[in-house]
Amino acid sequence: MSKGFLLFAQNTDSVNYVTQAYALALSIKFSQHEIKNVSLVTNDKVPKKYQKVFDQIIPIPWFDETTDTALKGEHRWKLYHATPYEETIVLDSDMLLLEDITSWWDYCGNSDLKFCNQITNYKLDIVNDTYHRKTFIANQLTNPYYALHYFKKNRPAYEFYKVLEFVCNNWEWAYGRFAPDEYQNWLSMDLATAIAIEISGMYEISTDTCSPLRFTHMKTPIQGWTPIPVSWQDTIPYVLNSTGKLVVGNIKQNELFHYVEKNFISKRILSRLQELADGS
């Protein structure tokens, strides 16, 4: 059964998501022992140098250039239909995979679909994000993170993604119906996923407290700092060393790191990731 990681990139005027996806793919190449397959879904130009790390570069299906939102997130429900793998782990492009996660594949293999529902800050404390997730709490929704999820190519996952497609395409109605309190006036894949779970009744895909799916989330309000700074990179030291260990604020980060701040992928970090991938 084919397994692989699937990334999505849609560049904006200010952010080159293709470069971020390339950085993530490099990190997958050096950190993973067994499953290193990675494909990219994008309609943007991928430089030749970047192309070799991807198994496949797949155009966004059913793409309509006239549609636009700030996050361009409305296409991400299509990932189920775009994946070339029978088992897929979807990752947000602004992440780095730092350690082997073979055990995640083994665990998730028992399910059709599994969303990450727990995050940590860089101190490795599990965080209940009451800052960004007010509408989830107010409307008693589950707490999925679309940035990290697993699915199989099968009927239950297909049906879930059909519901997610419906929510994404009718998000204002769906938000009004299922998340009216602390109303969020923009389409977020996390909230759309939570509502799709509510509609489909597939609560088990995001309420598994034993699930190993977890990542370090670097949004500054959840780092336990007072006052809250604008940038974590300006607040604590960090280094990606020559053995691929990422140490942030003197704390070595595990497995999956969601750096959030787009300028984190500097020339220096990218060059280090290339060295690590070349040496793996």
Partner 1 sequence: MTTGSIIFAQNNSTVDYVKLAIFSAIKIKQHLDIPVSLITDIKSWVEDTYPDHPFDKIIEIPNDTTIQKKHFHDGTLSSHKLEWKNQLRSSVYDLTPYDRTLVVDSDYLLNSDILKSALDNEYDFQIYRNSFDLAGRRNNSEFVRINQYSIPFYWATVFIFNKNTITENFFTLVAYIKANWLYFRNLYSIESSIFRNDFAFSIAIHIMNEKTAGNFAVELPGIMTYITDRDFLVTIKDTSIQFLLEKKDHPGEYIASKTQGLDVHVMNKLSLGRFIDGGSGV
Q: Which is nearer to partner 1, 162 or 252 (CB)?
A: 252
Q: Which is nearer to partner 1, 250 or 263 (CB)?
A: 250
> Under the rule (CB under 8 A), what is the footprint of partner 1?
123-124, 224-226, 235-236, 247, 249-254
Q: How far is the CB of 236 from partner 1 (least distance, A)?
A: 5
Backbone angles phi, psi at 37, to 5 degrees: -65, 135
Helix pair 17-31, 267-279: axis angle to 10 deg: 30
Q: How far is the CB of 177 from partner 1 (least distance, A)?
A: 40
Contact 146, 196 (CB under 8 A): no
Q: How far is the CB of 266 from partner 1 (least distance, A)?
A: 21
Q: Which is nearer to partner 1, 57 or 251 (CB)?
A: 251
Q: Which is nearer to partner 1, 69 or 241 (CB)?
A: 241
Q: Which is nearer to partner 1, 111 or 235 (CB)?
A: 235
- Residue 57 burial (C-beta neighbours within 10 Å; 0-12, 13-18, 19+): middle
Q: How far is the CB of 257 from partner 1 (least distance, A)?
A: 12
SS3 category, 155: helix
Q: How far is the CB of 269 from partner 1 (least distance, A)?
A: 19
Q: Which is nearer to partner 1, 188 or 254 (CB)?
A: 254
Upper half-sphere CA count for residue 243 (Cβ side, 13 Å): 4
Q: What is the distance between the terminal CA atoms of the chain, rounded to a whole angstrom? A: 24
Stated length of the chain: 280
Contact 23, 273 (CB under 8 A): yes
Rounded (to 5) percent helix, strand, coil in the chain: 35, 20, 45
Contact 44, 19 (CB under 8 A): no
Q: Which is nearer to partner 1, 57 or 236 (CB)?
A: 236
Q: How far is the CB of 24 from partner 1 (least distance, A)?
A: 21
Q: Which is nearer to partner 1, 183 or 225 (CB)?
A: 225
Upper half-sphere CA count for residue 194 (Cβ side, 13 Å): 22
Q: How far is the CB of 147 from partner 1 (least distance, A)?
A: 21
Strand partners, 149: 90, 115
CA distances from 257 to 99, 129, 147, 156, 200 (A): 10, 16, 11, 29, 30
Q: How far is the CB of 122 from partner 1 (least distance, A)?
A: 9
